Amino acid sequence: MKVSGEWLGHPGTQGLCAALESKGQRALFVGGCVRNALLGEPVADVDLATDATPENVTNIAEKAGFKVVPTGFDHGTVTVIAAGKPHEVTTFRRDVETDGRRAVVAFSTDLAEDAARRDFTMNALYADRHGTVIDPLNGLPDLQARHVRFVGDAETRIREDYLRILRFFRFHARYGDQAKGPDAEGLAACAALSARLETISKERIGAEMRKLLSAPDPAPAVASMAAAGVLAHILPGADTRALAPLVHLEDGMSPRWLRRLAVLGGEDPGTALRLSRSETRDLAALREAIGTLHPAAALGWQLGADLGVDAILARAATFGTPPQPGWQAEVARGAAATFPVSAADLMPALQGEALGQRLKALEARWLASNLILSRDDLLKGA
């Protein structure tokens, strides 16, 4: 079996592989580029595995005229910029010691050792520069069946890196057969070791949750996380019931992970997932909007176009009531609107606190009118 695609024929990619092979080293594509090419999905990043040490990769690549950045030198990874395209090149490795958070590795020249330390069988697929697939762990049938399965013993793989629990659900959401559900052995191992997620940094957990919630339909995977007790460890108090209705209401819209996080709820997700200040602020605004009766135009004005759409969809999913016809146009109208009264309109008759209170009251009237009242209408009552 072979893979193909523009990424494979890129002159920098072929040139780098040829340079390594000319010195007797192996140069094999691995992981996401092979997996996605076999599934007919877009290939973003190109990763290479090699039996050359990082020092040799650096020397060979620089002599070939390529720029080398030591992005993870001690762990065997350098980034080679060839013809303007970045390639992560990692030496074959085997684990020497793991503690669930980080690993001590030793370099290897054995492809089988390198494959055995990977997380899922569908990620242990390699291809040479001609596109010929190399499958040392028989992962191809799993990929074709969209069966996300750990390499070897599931608990052993998870104990090497507890973040693999979340990766298991993320990969199932993105590449798995949703009708069949997650791999039974993997699911049991994730449930058994779920408490160990509390030893992982919140930044890493937040990054995984962003990716999971950005999948086309994360609802079945997140429901499995909840049933296995995983979700409670990373987002206490979360409720999955509104997520599937939300995905249905999105109806082909681009996934927005923060919108989906808003309907999950949970206790202090900003801290639990180490969100940025702006993300925490937007999430709080969405969660507040879910509990209001503000019309679409008012939410568009208060939150802006994107968050206004998020709020309408999240509220509809939470309460099981479809949005009103024309709601998207109303959100857009609100986002483009400008409150017609300014402080100057009320001065000098009003100053200070009284001025602020009157402006708030007029704003409330304007919102209650669905943004219809004009400046003159509002000032007549002022």
- Please indicate, yes or no, whether residues 134 and 266 belong to a single structural domain of this protein: no
End-to-end CA distance of the chain: 77
C-alpha closest to that of 285 among 262, 264, 305, 318:
262
- Please indicate, yes or no, whether residues 6 and 134 belong to a single structural domain of this protein: yes
C-alpha closest to that of 181 among 120, 215, 223, 230:
223
- Please indicate, yes or no, whether residues 247 and 206 belong to a single structural domain of this protein: no
- Please indicate, yes or no, whether residues 112 and 158 belong to a single structural domain of this protein: no
- Please indicate, yes or no, whether residues 163 and 256 belong to a single structural domain of this protein: no
Contacts of 295 (CB under 8 A, 6+ apart): 324, 330, 370
User: Which single residue is written with the structure tokens 């090149």?
Assistant: 89
pTM: predicted TM-score of the whole model, two decimal places:
0.91
C-alpha closest to that of 166 among 216, 250, 117, 100:
100
| 128 class by beta-carbon count within 10 Å (0-12 exposed, 13-18 middle, 19+ buried) | middle
Contacts of 348 (CB under 8 A, 6+ apart): none
Structural domain harbouring 170: 153-234
Residue count of the chain, please give it. Answer: 382
> What tokens appear for 377 in the block?
């209408």
The rounded distance, in Å, linking the Cα atoms of 316 and 249 is 8
Element (H, E) at 16: helix 11-22
- Please indicate, yes or no, whether residues 285 and 346 belong to a single structural domain of this protein: no
CATH number of the domain that residue 167 is part of: 1.10.3090.10
CA angle 174, 93, 154 (to 5 degrees): 45
- Please indicate, yes or no, whether residues 227 and 268 belong to a single structural domain of this protein: no
Q: Are 149 and 167 in contact (CB under 8 A)?
A: no
Q: Are 346 and 359 in contact (CB under 8 A)?
A: yes
Number of structural domains the chain divides into? 4
CATH number of the domain that residue 28 is part of: 3.30.460.10
Q: Tell me, what's the pLDDT at 8?
A: 96
The rounded distance, in Å, linking the Cα atoms of 118 and 59 is 27
The rounded distance, in Å, linking the Cα atoms of 312 and 255 is 15
Q: Which residues of the chain register pLDDT less than 50?
A: none
Q: Which of 144, 167, 186 is the last residue of a domain?
A: 144
Are β-strands 85-91 and 47-50 bridged in parallel, bridged antiparallel, or unpaired? parallel
